[in-house]
Structure 1
Amino acid sequence: MDPSLAGAATNRRRFLGLVGLGATAMAGGGLLAGCSRQAGTEGAATNVDAISAVLPKYQPVDLVTPDITGVRPIADGYLNYPSELVKAVTDTPGGSGETITAMTPWWGPTPPGIDRNTYLQAVNAELGVPVDFSVQDGNTYADKLSAALGARDVPDLLCAPNWEIDKIPRFSDAVSALFEDLTDYLAGDAALAYPHLASFPTGAWQYAVWGGRLAAVPWPTDGPFPYALFYRKDLTDAAGVQAPKNIEELYEFGKAMTDPGNGVWAFGSVFHMVQMFYGVPGSQGGWRQTDGGGLEFKYETEEYRAALEFTTKLFAEGLVHPDVVESKGSDTKQLFNSGRLICYEDGVGAWRGMYSEQRQITPTFDMQPVPIFSATGDGDPIAWGEEKPVFYTFIKKGLGAERTEELLRVLNWCAAPFGSQEYHLRQYGVAGEHHTIGDDGSPVMTELGRQEIADQYTFIVGRYPAIVQTADVPGFVEDLLAYSNETVKYLESNPWAGIKLEFPANYSRVLQPTEDKILDVLRGRRPTSDLDQIISEWRSAGGDEGRDFFAKALEDNGR
């Protein structure tokens, strides 16, 4: 994922809200007796321990022993690709011949469609039924998703990012109106008919429940961190500049690496990571408990004010690339890859793909994460993160039991774990076409593979987490596990862990406009002294309503 600007976690993932769902949808939000409040304008908070009866029975599938153990919730690492792959699904999943429609995001060039994509054709042949993907730009996926929900026009399989649906008012109503109830298909022992889905962690399934019923298939996270601060180590090494270890060094890093005369600037978006360096809270978007027992949001903290002032200074002194300053839609990945941008924040999941692609163009390309640090040197930094699923896949309502079971068999095939033939085909396509085999026995993507594969089948189901070494990214598994196992020490404790929250409508609506105002401050269009006014407007428009909601969720769950 590519948050190219400060505040991009919401800026580029904008929802217009659910409209046009109709009376049936509005009546569809259920009440989970004893453990939730009614969804809708007031929001809902559900203790996930209260929904164990609707969850799949967990049954692990272990094909390969890991080489590096991740500190949970970090996934395990594998340094060698298996020479022998197991056929994990013996029966062909599909049989109807009826095309399955699916919508997924992708943060890169749009791949060819089903008629011109040999990768899709190869996987569909194994599935026994064609899956036709509508691959949408991940940077504007919120708009596409909102339009589909509002028009009540959803595909058979719909991938929805967790950070998007959290902001949709009355999303539970959309779930009830548009998507299949999967409880009877997957609860308890029923899930064993789909063993690779049953291998997903129970904690991931807990978040896939709406209105007390199982409504989606989760994509379990392989790491809890939403961002890392990446830098071009090959370029900084050449310049004799070290990675920063404190906030003053980050500023000096920016000054040393910015060279407008040669079209190079130090920074793209860094605001989220700067907040972590300063210890700004991130739970549920920025809440924490105060010493007095109340709640405060990040905007209201001294740490946030310090992070805002520091980042505004980077903008004001010309250390941020002008494309980022001027546009919400600047392509920071391209700027970073071309060396015109030295340092920016991105999702940790972006690391591997960029590293692999750019090494084909620039063999010395080396992107690394800056180790997390405390801005003040007093105490520890905070690493934001959570174990919620990254994405959810919903099945269209009303397709009938036979079709729903076929779709679940397809998802089960797609969820086959590392070490299986199915995983290999899903990830790398056909040998000799989409990948070759490197000297170490691991697959190396070809240009055709890069053009045609956009994780289509992964986005509709996810997979059991595994971090696998391949020849195109030498040292990646060791580097990622070293960074992740160190950073997890600073993972913020979440007071709402184990409580599934659906935000109040007013609170959801005020988030984006407020982030836009903050972005204006960062860019110098408003003075930092306006923060107090912005906070006041946020509180009156829904922020205080959110405070009451989060406090009630803790109270109701005895915390």
Structure 2
Amino acid sequence: MNPSLAGAAANRRQFLGLLGLGATAMAGAGLLAGCSRPAGTSGTATNVDAISAVLPKYQPVELVTPDIAGVRPIADGYLKYPAELVKAVTETPGNSDEPISAMTPWWGPTPPGRDRNAYLQAVNEQLGVPVDFSVQDGNTYADKLSATLGARDVPDLLCAPNWEIDKIPRFSDAVSTLFEDLTDHLAGDAASAYPHLASFTTGAWQYAVWGGRLAAVPWPTDNPFPYALFYRKDLTDAAGAQAPANIEELYEFGKALTDPGRNVWAFGSVFNMVQMFYGVPGSQGGWRQTDGGGLEFKYETEEYRAALEFTTKLFAEGLVHPDIAESRGSADAKQLFNSGRTLCYEDGVGAWRGMYSEQRQITPTFDMRPVPIFSATGDGDPIAWGEEKPIFYTFVKKGLGKERTEEILRVLNWCAAPFGSQEYHLRQYGVAGQHHTVSADGSPEVTELGRQEMADQYTFLVGRYPAIVQTADVPGFVEKLLAYSNETVKYLEPNPWAGIKLEFPANYSRVGQPTEDKILDVLRGRRPTSDLEQIVSEWRSGGGDEGRDFFAKALEDNGR
């Protein structure tokens, strides 16, 4: 988390790196106040392929022909901003004048409210109804989300990241209690009243079903990869070093470029990417089927042990920045990378554009690139973790009535207008001369006022038909991103549970984060690698084996 929203500048994309939390984020156990479940609850598995009757009829919308086609689910690329924009919504969505309350996350400074925010005022004028945003700190959004659900005091529109709700026990109970059933509004041909929502893929809508009913509006992903291994090409070129192409070169890269005397270390956090290089399974956080028909988790595999031993060696030999090595988490990995104190680290693919744009304003030569994925052993193809689940879901408060719900859906349809439309342009860039200027190549450049007032408020409410657009602040970015993504998607790991909505057993959810903390101690040298066997045993007895039975039954029940 991990997509790129075409054209946003500087800190408007800080949140996107967090979209790459993937298995690491999902390993933790979220507790929902007032909706907790007892230890041992077995979880649920729903085959979403069986609910086609409640899904919107797919109606693609394309206003501009792409310059570079993405290999699905990768978004298409556009190398220039269109000179002429289409008005995609001809009627004003709102007519009640009653403010719509909304809660969204943001990984940056909190913007002013609508009374002091020209951007919100401009968009609300087009909507015909004001949207009142409660913008919450993305770093603590899980706590706010749990508290809001637990208090049963939800806004009219609630944005929920997939990596947070996957950790909330019995979230489906909260859905049926607190949020509107959207099936009759959007199923089948009914979605034609909201054509931009109908342009979302059927696969995205499948995941928005709870209890056999359509319960949310999804934000479709445009890039399925949770991580990439980024390196500072500007600095490595100056040092005469190349991007590593195999595991031995990655180690030598670390040895050659680490220089504590100059306050430079080769690596920040890299363990998730090292796992991919070694072929560690990543489906549903780390499961795969064995040749004998059973299931094994990543902790139990030889590939994971090899990845752990390799990464532990990087720490032991001082090739990882000490702030990373001494922390319980990953310290401020972005700042270390941006300042050149580390030359290589992992992050969500979505972090790339924002960091590139922001840092080029500080250091014009700044250049970050992803290391092409490779197989550590050299045998067979590499493995890329990833999934096509929506990034966010937007829920509508239950009990607002038919007219109010339809008004809100019209607002969401406006917000979902695709690239090439006037609506997209206003939502992404605000008012010309205030929130953005136009660069020599015709692309918008966000101003300081835009950075202060825009926190992707309307973007978080709903997705749109994916597009990656070239802008002046990130020269060559679209070509680089599409080249990397279109190559990496070839190695996307098959997911045996694709199309099955899973709500994990309580014990399995709860054992995840404590186990990851123990693994972290091994990586940092606080525990020997020989402790892995004990850690795995504790994981199995604490809920891991319960998870194995759950995932196996989900496959069996769905004929796989």
Indicate if the aligned counterparts of 1:77 and 1:466 stay in contact, CA closer than 8 A.
yes
Q: Scaled by the length of structure 2, what TM-score is found?
A: 0.93
2: distance between equivalents of 1:260 and 1:147? 44
Matches within 5 A, 1:485-504: 485-504=486-505
User: Match for residue 303 of structure 1?
Assistant: 303
**How far 1:3 moved relative to its partner?**
6.7
User: Match for residue 17 of structure 1?
Assistant: 31
**How far 1:455 moved relative to its partner?**
1.6
Indicate if the aligned counterparts of 1:13 and 1:141 stay in contact, CA closer than 8 A.
no
Indicate if the aligned counterparts of 1:180 and 1:396 stay in contact, CA closer than 8 A.
yes
**How far 1:325 moved relative to its partner?**
2.5
Between 1:216-225 and 1:371-380, the stretch displaced more is 371-380
1:367-393 deviation per Cα after TM superposition (whole angstroms, max 9, x unaligned): 110100111112221100111111111
User: Match for residue 291 of structure 1?
Assistant: 291
User: Match for residue 436 of structure 1?
Assistant: 437
Matches within 5 A, 1:215-364: 215-327=215-327, 328=329, 330-364=331-365
In structure 2, list runs of 5 or more residues that go unmatched.
1-14
Indicate if the aligned counterparts of 1:15 and 1:143 stay in contact, CA closer than 8 A.
no
2: distance between equivalents of 1:288 and 1:9? 14
Structure 2 vs 1, CA of residues 20 and 334 (structure 1 numbering), >3 Å: closer, same or farther?
same
Matches within 5 A, 1:80-159: 80-159=80-159
2: distance between equivalents of 1:329 and 1:410? 39
Structure 2 vs 1, CA of residues 90 and 274 (structure 1 numbering), >3 Å: closer, same or farther?
same
Indicate if the aligned counterparts of 1:372 and 1:487 stay in contact, CA closer than 8 A.
yes
Structure 2 vs 1, CA of residues 445 and 543 (structure 1 numbering), >3 Å: closer, same or farther?
same
Secondary structure of 1:132's aligned partner: strand
Q: Scaled by the length of structure 1, what TM-score is found?
A: 0.93
In structure 1, list runs of 5 or more residues that go unmatched.
27-39
Indicate if the aligned counterparts of 1:117 and 1:452 stay in contact, CA closer than 8 A.
yes
1:44-88 deviation per Cα after TM superposition (whole angstroms, max 9, x unaligned): 111112100100111111111111111111111111211000011
RMSD of Structure 2 on Structure 1 (CA): 1.9
User: Match for residue 5 of structure 2?
Assistant: none
**How far 1:291 moved relative to its partner?**
0.7
Secondary structure of 1:103's aligned partner: strand
Indicate if the aligned counterparts of 1:442 and 1:471 stay in contact, CA closer than 8 A.
yes
Indicate if the aligned counterparts of 2:416 and 2:465 stay in contact, CA closer than 8 A.
yes
Tell me the amino acid that sits aligned with residue 57 of structure 1.
Answer: K
**How far 1:257 moved relative to its partner?**
2.2
Percent identity over paired residues: 87
User: Match for residue 8 of structure 2?
Assistant: none
**How far 1:454 moved relative to its partner?**
2.0
Between 1:280-289 and 1:247-256, the stretch displaced more is 247-256
Structure 2 vs 1, CA of residues 12 and 389 (structure 1 numbering), >3 Å: closer, same or farther?
closer
Secondary structure of 1:471's aligned partner: coil
Secondary structure of 1:102's aligned partner: strand
Secondary structure of 1:173's aligned partner: helix
Structure 2 vs 1, CA of residues 16 and 384 (structure 1 numbering), >3 Å: closer, same or farther?
closer
Tell me the amino acid that sits aligned with residue 32 of structure 2.
Answer: L
Structure 2 vs 1, CA of residues 494 and 276 (structure 1 numbering), >3 Å: closer, same or farther?
same
2: distance between equivalents of 1:326 and 1:112? 37
Secondary structure of 1:133's aligned partner: strand
Indicate if the aligned counterparts of 1:7 and 1:272 stay in contact, CA closer than 8 A.
no
User: Match for residue 392 of structure 1?
Assistant: 393
2: distance between equivalents of 1:188 and 1:464? 19
Tell me the amino acid that sits aligned with residue 374 of structure 1.
Answer: S
Indicate if the aligned counterparts of 1:2 and 1:346 stay in contact, CA closer than 8 A.
no
**How far 1:13 moved relative to its partner?**
8.8
**Structure 2 residue 441 is the aligned partner of structure 1 residue 427:** no
1: distance between equivalents of 2:264 and 2:129? 49
1:120-168 deviation per Cα after TM superposition (whole angstroms, max 9, x unaligned): 2221221122222222232322222122222222222111111221122
Indicate if the aligned counterparts of 2:159 and 2:392 stay in contact, CA closer than 8 A.
yes
Tell me the amino acid that sits aligned with residue 331 of structure 1.
Answer: D
**How far 1:14 moved relative to its partner?**
5.2
Structure 2 vs 1, CA of residues 58 and 275 (structure 1 numbering), >3 Å: closer, same or farther?
same
1: distance between equivalents of 2:188 and 2:16? 37
2: distance between equivalents of 1:485 and 1:390? 20
2: distance between equivalents of 1:201 and 1:11? 25
1:253-299 deviation per Cα after TM superposition (whole angstroms, max 9, x unaligned): 12222222222222111111110000000011110000111000001
2: distance between equivalents of 1:69 and 1:349? 18
User: Match for residue 408 of structure 2?
Assistant: 407
Secondary structure of 1:45's aligned partner: strand
Indicate if the aligned counterparts of 1:415 and 1:462 stay in contact, CA closer than 8 A.
yes
User: Match for residue 30 of structure 1?
Assistant: none
